[in-house]
Amino acid sequence: MTINLGLLNDVQVRFLCPADLEEVKRLCRVWFPIEYPDVWYDEITSSTRFFSLAATFNKNIIGLLVAEVKTKSLCNKEDAGILSFRFGDDATLAYILSIGVVQEYRRHGIGSLLLDSLLCHLTTPERQNCKAVYLHVLTTNFAAMQFYEKRRFTQFRYLPLYYAIKGTHRDGFSYVLYINGGEPPWTFIYPFIILVHSG
């Protein structure tokens, strides 16, 4: 899969492959405060369980996105209740595990390109059963929250002490974007519940 960017027409988007493992590992260790196990890198670069994309420039990875599509019934406890109760346990959701861009290429639309590629994949006619895209973010990661909010993601839940980073527990938020007719568990009171949780 290759996508031209107009002004950045030398940037391409493709799926990760096993040959990317060491480069992906190096980038993630720079970008993220969480230490992922080696098996995670093996899986995201080779398993069809993950939708793993790389944005490349001059054959070097400058950004990546890793997502997993899973049924509502397989969501973790802290993510239960993201979808309206009218959707059965066989409805699917896409969880964004990671998205990152090399420092010097940030604010050039690379993250948006990767996210758009995922959303295009999830909104095709054969994937209409996917009703939401969600993720977790540190409460102190203001740049990430601003990025997602600009892309119409909504803060869903406050996650106290969700992250364990170098022996310290840190708070997080979950964010969600509803797609393909997906809806939150609340209707007209949903925005007010969001305010209560985040206030």
Kindly list the catalytic residues. 95, 136
Q: Counting beta carbons within 10 angstroms of the beta carbon of residue 125, is it exposed (0 to 12), middle (13 to 18) or buried (19 or more)?
A: exposed
The alpha carbon dihedral of 134, 135, 136, 140 has a sign of negative
User: Are 131 and 93 within 8 A, CB to CB?
Assistant: yes
DSSP 89-127: TT-EEEEEEEEEE-GGGTTSSHHHHHHHHHHHHHTSGGG
* Alpha carbon distance 33, 105 (integer Å): 20
The owner of tokens 């390109």 is 113
* Alpha carbon distance 21, 175 (integer Å): 28
Residue 149 host element (H or E): helix 142-150
